[in-house]
Structure 1
């Protein structure tokens, strides 16, 4: 698993500036299961608990894991649900018993996992008939409000600037480039590779936020690429004094450049950042895979027929 989003600064910005998932996401992805009180949810790569919060009401017990201690501390600080537990854990070695989870979720995290190892662990942990639900958002649209000119073209300028921002690191890093391609292609690759015969992709949910340039700047600073880029530049400038390095880093700051170039393109350079208003639209998409008895028997490791019988009894009582 690649590990980002672990510093205090990016954790704080992630919580403050990232759009939180709408309750509609849990309702639509659980589908016919949402009317039941399911036993156990495992949320993998939970971050600050954004996805955990919307899925938790449908379960008796929830375990949310993440490798980042800072993200987990943030999640614990805002947790108001007694049946939710946050702990450090990794996608490739899930801290759960065999055949224990009704649902496994991963929000804005799957592209960082070693996915073959993760899918193998999902086979071990997920009950027959259980579901793996993975999702994230992309296709950011920053639509200006109360501006003259062609709104569509102004929005396209913002989209192009964001793509340029992403390429600051991906153009020289094949691993990051492949990761971002998975996101920009809206999980089409994930749909193909997910090892389930029953699976479907969804792409019908969006989130809207009304922001100023202050929020846009904070959003840029909450993205992993920003953190990677700024740390690299800081290391390159270690030969300078603290004051010189601070000044140079401000000049190189991609969040500052993004806002400056967008204000120039939108013709509002004379306005304060807080006075430039826009609608930010985020497209949610993902893949839902359903485990089967065939996959279950492929991956199961048991000592004898008694164990199989006990586990199947539990599974059928839950789903059939």
Structure 2
């Protein structure tokens, strides 16, 4: 079903979707440049961003195309995307639509299939009916259209051990000059425990992301003439408070909270907050008071959480698929 939500009065998006828009990292400019380089300037009329969320990637594509369309199945996400793009670009259109509606979308907006030269799916391909989506891509769009699939497994905390790793030295020489915190090892354990805690609540097989979509390679090879992939590391400086806000955007974390509430009651012990409190204790700071999912942080607790800074690194991977000869 296709639905514009320009006049939507839904207010619930203000929590999860706004956090998503603010605390999810944008994509490295190197990825955008590589994707754009696949398409000649005269062919850059329309780009379609499937599963656009709050428009993080959509806005990055906008300067390179005459028009960019972002679609997502979540009304809340699209509403935030519309508001976030109001002053960014006039060439972006957002719609509440499912990926299965590709042909209807083009017809409704009077977009010629030959004018769509790029389709992107960032951090969303594993949520789709992949076979149906790829078939629609091939049956509806021009053979000259490129498909870029972007994703990343869970992030890790950059620790001193990574600076001696040959991969990081070669691909990220700037890391050698980054300052590291004495608490990186402790925060790293916190982050590891958090992702182990919520892994089983992801709503999909997390090994798909761990494999960097290698599990789809046979499917890709059967359907496309050109299949290439690459990966790069992105370093995102954060503090403990920002990391906590980032976790609130995780569907796995939210499912974990719902399951724990159901089994243990409204004031269940949130293990993530327990872990954060333990790190604050190590730094000899006032740690969190009442540890429950319903608690609100005091100003002092927020200041203390913001004082614990570290670097998250994401191993971002991209698959470039096309039938261009």
TM-score under structure 1 length normalisation: 0.75
Per the alignment, residue 127 of structure 1 pairs with: 142
User: Gaps (5+ residues) in structure 2?
Assistant: 1-11, 160-178, 287-303
1:231 Cα offset (Å): 2.2
Structure 2 Cα separation of the partners of residues 257 and 196 of structure 1: 48
Root-mean-square deviation (Å): 2.6
Q: How many residues align?
A: 267
1:287 Cα offset (Å): 0.6
Give yes or no for the alignment of 1:287 onto 2:316: no
> Please, which of 171, 195, 210 is the counterpart of residue 163 of structure 1?
195
| Cα 1:258–1:96 shift into 2, 3 Å | farther
> Please, which of 94, 100, 104 is the counterpart of residue 86 of structure 1?
94
> Please, which of 247, 251, 254 is the counterpart of residue 220 of structure 1?
247
* 1:257-303: CA deviation from partner (whole Å, max 9, x where unpaired): 34235556xx325362111111122221121101258xxxxxxxxxx
* 1:110-142: CA deviation from partner (whole Å, max 9, x where unpaired): 111111111111113321121110102225122
User: How do 1:1-320 residues align onto structure 2 when only pairs under 5 Å count?
Assistant: 8-33=14-39, 35-36=41-42, 38-79=44-85, 80-94=88-102, 95-97=105-107, 99-100=113-114, 101-143=116-158, 147-148=181-182, 154=186, 156-169=188-201, 176-178=203-205, 180-194=206-220, 195-204=223-232, 206-236=233-263, 245=266, 248-249=267-268, 251=269, 253-263=270-280, 267-270=282-285, 272-292=304-324
Report SS of the residue matched to 1:138: coil
| Cα 1:156–1:211 shift into 2, 3 Å | closer
Q: Is the CA contact 2:13–2:79 (under 8 Å) kept in the aligned structure 1?
A: no
* 1:178-216: CA deviation from partner (whole Å, max 9, x where unpaired): 2x1111111212333222121111102x32222111011
1:92 Cα offset (Å): 2.0
Q: Is the CA contact 1:69–1:88 (under 8 Å) kept in the aligned structure 2?
A: yes
Structure 1 Cα separation of the partners of residues 324 and 31 of structure 2: 23
User: Gaps (5+ residues) in structure 1?
Assistant: 1-5, 171-175, 294-320
1:29 Cα offset (Å): 2.0
* 1:156-189: CA deviation from partner (whole Å, max 9, x where unpaired): 524532431333525xxxxx352x1111111212
TM-score under structure 2 length normalisation: 0.74
Structure 2 Cα separation of the partners of residues 224 and 181 of structure 1: 16
Structure 1 Cα separation of the partners of residues 138 and 236 of structure 2: 37
1:85 Cα offset (Å): 0.6
Structure 1 Cα separation of the partners of residues 191 and 271 of structure 2: 15
Structure 2 Cα separation of the partners of residues 280 and 10 of structure 1: 21
Structure 1 Cα separation of the partners of residues 247 and 22 of structure 2: 12
